[in-house]
Structure 1
Amino acid sequence: MGKRKKQAKVLRIFRKIHRTTGALLFIFFFFISISGLILGWKKNSNGYILPKTEQGTTADLKKWLPVDSLHTIACNTLHHKVSPDMSLEIDRIDIRKEKGSVKFIFVDSFYEVQLDGATGRVLSIGKRRSDFMENIHDGSIVDDYLGTNGYIKLVYTNVMGISLLIFTITGFWLWYGPKRMRKANKT
């Protein structure tokens, strides 16, 4: 088989891989791209996607209330200002020393309560839509729903990462291969 025929065969194989991968994973690429775009805007959404980090009174941790006291304030705030039926299970505590504030992020419905670290005053109560988008983006929403302890997310991120690599390689070759064939034809 001649050099040109080998190159044409490789191009056909790459085209088929590219097309098949795209067709099989279209819906996943769609969700990843949309959620990625939304996440890119989270800090520029005027607090809609991710609540703005508010300024507390001091960055001096020695003047802050104990974390357990701040936790109690955050839980009481969530129950009194949002809903008494919400779970008080904490996803994480985000201390922003430089801002003098602390965020208590709850598992239930992606709510956060921001407090002044020194006074315990409630700075804001907000819904973290970005956390929901991150769960869609990385596939952990399915893990949470099925209770599979992160295994679906692991498989999902591997499949999508490898697929993106395959798309990159085959896409490059689909662009470069014909140029290479035309150049070889001229000589």
Structure 2
Amino acid sequence: MSNPTKRQQQARILRIFRKVHRTMGALLFSFFFIISISGILLGWKKNSGGYILAETQKGVSTNLADWQPLDMLHQKALKVYSDSISANPNVEVDRMEIRKDKGIVKFTFVDDFWGVQLDGTTGNLLLIEKRRGDYIEKLHDGSLLDYYFGTQSGQFKLVYTSIMGVALFLFTTTGFWLWYGPKRMRKN
């Protein structure tokens, strides 16, 4: 193949890559914007002064033998929720996080991103927290739609992360070629 023909082919490939890069950028701009902002916030959550991620409180004892039974702590957390957050009789705990080194148990509720920290020994309320970090994380990975639509198998998250992963791969590939292609053409 002659040099001018090869150069024309390389230029055509560059135009195609530029068009793909520009079209993907225009179509996915808002998603990349959301991912970038939420990613920054997640990176800063431990340094947000308790706004994004509440500070973990300290309990009376780190010795598990001194602690109340988990079932009793669970019932107290449900009572705190119904008394202080919402009178919803069907409140459900999403997860319980035992922080032995701090002497506490964190209860995270399924609804509305609320959490409660109880002293493992006394069962006293240490903190009611709005779990903004959980909301931001769900926004970041696309599972917020699964949360709002009540899907159990994470279909929205799977589709969202697949699309965004492929898009990022294509952006990286086309972006590299848009940088390297002209250099290669000048060299030839």
| Structure 2 length-normalised TM | 0.91
1:114 counterpart letter in structure 2:
Q
Counterpart of 2:78 in structure 1 is 75
Counterpart of 2:172 in structure 1 is 168
- 2:116 is the counterpart of 1:110: no
Q: CA deviation at 1:147?
A: 3.0
Q: Distance in 1 between matches of 2:132 and 2:164?
A: 23
Q: CA deviation at 1:87?
A: 4.4
Distance 1:81 1:148, change over 3 A: closer
Counterpart of 2:185 in structure 1 is 181
Q: CA RMSD in A?
A: 1.6
Q: Distance in 2 between matches of 1:168 and 1:33?
A: 16
Counterpart of 1:36 in structure 2 is 39
1:64 counterpart letter in structure 2:
W
Distance 1:80 1:128, change over 3 A: same
Counterpart of 1:100 in structure 2 is 103
Q: Distance in 2 between matches of 1:27 and 1:127?
A: 26
1:153 counterpart letter in structure 2:
K
Counterpart of 1:55 in structure 2 is 58
Q: Distance in 1 between matches of 2:29 and 2:66?
A: 53
Return the match for 2:23 from 20, 24, 40.
20
2:86 counterpart letter in structure 1:
S
- 2:13 is the counterpart of 1:10: yes
Which moved further from structure 2: 153-162 or 80-89? Answer: 80-89
1:60 counterpart letter in structure 2:
N
Q: Distance in 2 between matches of 1:87 and 1:178?
A: 62
Deviations along 1:151-187, whole A, 9 cap, x unmatched?
A: 1111111000110111111111111111121122xxx
Q: Distance in 1 between matches of 2:63 and 2:175?
A: 53
Q: CA deviation at 1:148?
A: 3.3
Q: Which runs of 5+ in 1 are unaligned?
A: none
Counterpart of 2:123 in structure 1 is 120
Return the match for 2:158 from 154, 160, 163.
154
Which moved further from structure 2: 103-112 or 174-183? Answer: 174-183
2:82 counterpart letter in structure 1:
H
Q: CA deviation at 1:86?
A: 6.7
- 2:92 is the counterpart of 1:89: yes
- 2:137 is the counterpart of 1:134: yes
Q: Distance in 2 between matches of 1:66 and 1:78?
A: 19
Q: CA deviation at 1:52?
A: 0.9
Count of residues paired in the alignment: 184
| Structure 1 length-normalised TM | 0.91
Question: Is the Cα–Cα contact under 8 Å of residues 87 and 108 in structure 1 kept in the other structure?
Answer: no
